[in-house]
Chain A
Amino acid sequence: MDDDDRVFRALADPTRRYLLDRLHERDGRTLTELESALAMTRFGVMKHLKVLEDAGLVVTRRSGREKLHFLNPVPIRLIHDRWIDKYTERFVSALADLKTELEETG
């Protein structure tokens, strides 16, 4: 399995995307904090975090006695850079803005 496969596999699961959303909201959380946001056993959450770590989407760092989890968006950026160059990016982001605006007002 190459790096991109790991990223796509990790993202192909709603619980793992939910965990990334929580970290995007506030970074640097402990397992206990992440666990409290999910109706799932500690072991289940750990398994999902392991898949996210293997894909490089979550990075852990020690802070005293605590292990903190951080969202690492670089693998997603690398996938983005592979297919979207700087010139097309402007059009893509304009379309994304338009979609957001229409959906919010509509």
Chain B
Amino acid sequence: MTTMTQNITNVHQVFIRATAEEIWEAITRPEFTLKYFYGTRVESDLAVGSPFVYRAGDSEELLVEGEVLESDPPRRLSVTWRFLYDPELAAEGPSRVTWEIEPQEGGYCKFTALHEGLGEKSAEQVAGGWPYIVSGLKTLLETGKPLAG
């Protein structure tokens, strides 16, 4: 356990046809995360040092818990991240997630989700999750509809 590598970084990036403000809302408001973030509700007042959590859509159960490290609406949000739904992942300790929104020409934004400081099991887990989430976010913002299913 003491030799565990805890420094894996995952990067997920996509261009989204939406304004920076729309993307910011989609990350920070529960009515949006319900539709693309595994049916969870995000909760935070987004002040630095405040809690940043995801709850199950249909209960008060906490699935991810962290706190706001950096908040620069609508460009950059950085939070600590503790997985609570799986003891193995929780044991690997906290990591850090940063969302970057960079407006481009032609009504697009470059959207990046950066997950740093991951242990091996957590890295494996998020490698499957982020592509689905980021793709779902793009679909939701561009079509107004969540991914099928």
Q: B-contacting residues of A (Cβ < 8 Å)?
A: 27-28, 56, 59, 61, 70-78, 81, 85-87, 89
B11 cross-chain contacts in A, Cβ below 8 A: 27, 59, 61, 70-72
Whether A73 contacts B131 by the Cβ 8 Å rule is yes
Question: CB distance A77 to B132 under 8 Å?
Answer: yes
Give B residues with C-beta under 8 Å from A. Answer: 8-15, 112, 114, 127, 130-132, 134-135, 138-139, 147-149
Query: B139, A81: Cβ atoms under 8 Å?
Result: yes
In the complex, the chain A residue whose C-beta lies closest to that of B149 is A86
**Known interface pairs A59-B112, A73-B131. Does A78 touch B13 (Cβ–Cβ under 8 Å)?**
no
What are 12 contact pairs spanning A and B, CB under 8 A? A27-B8, A70-B9, A72-B11, A72-B12, A73-B131, A74-B14, A77-B132, A77-B134, A78-B138, A85-B148, A85-B149, A87-B148
A27-B11, A56-B13, A70-B10 given; 15 more Cβ-contact pairs under 8 Å:
A70-B9, A71-B11, A72-B12, A73-B127, A74-B12, A74-B131, A74-B134, A74-B135, A77-B131, A78-B14, A81-B139, A81-B147, A85-B149, A87-B148, A89-B149
Choice from A27, A78, A85 contacting B9 with Cβ under 8 Å: A27
A72 surroundings in chain B (CB, below 8 A): 11-13
Q: How far is the CB of B101 from chain A (nearest CB, A)?
A: 15
| A34 CB → nearest B CB, Å | 16
Chain A's nearest CB lies how many Å from the CB of B79? Answer: 18
Other-chain contact of A28, B9, B14, B134, B149 (Cβ < 8 Å) = B9
Return chain A residues, CB-CB under 8 Å to B148: 85-87
Contacts of A77 in B (CB 8 A): 131-132, 134-135
Q: Which residues of A contact B13 (CB under 8 A)?
A: 56, 59, 72, 74
Interface pairs A-B: 5 shortest CB-CB: A86-B149, A85-B148, A77-B131, A70-B11, A77-B135
How far apart are B132's CB and chain A's nearest CB, in angstroms? 7
Residues of B within 8 A of A89 (CB): 149
A77 to chain B minimum Cβ distance, whole angstroms, is: 4
> Residues of A contacting B12 with CB < 8 Å?
72-74
Q: How far is B131's CA from A30's CA once the two chains are assembled, in angstroms? A: 23
Chain A min CB distance to B105 (Å): 16
Residue picked from A56, A59, A72, A87, most chain B C-beta under 10 Å: A72
Bound: A28/B12 CA distance, A = 12
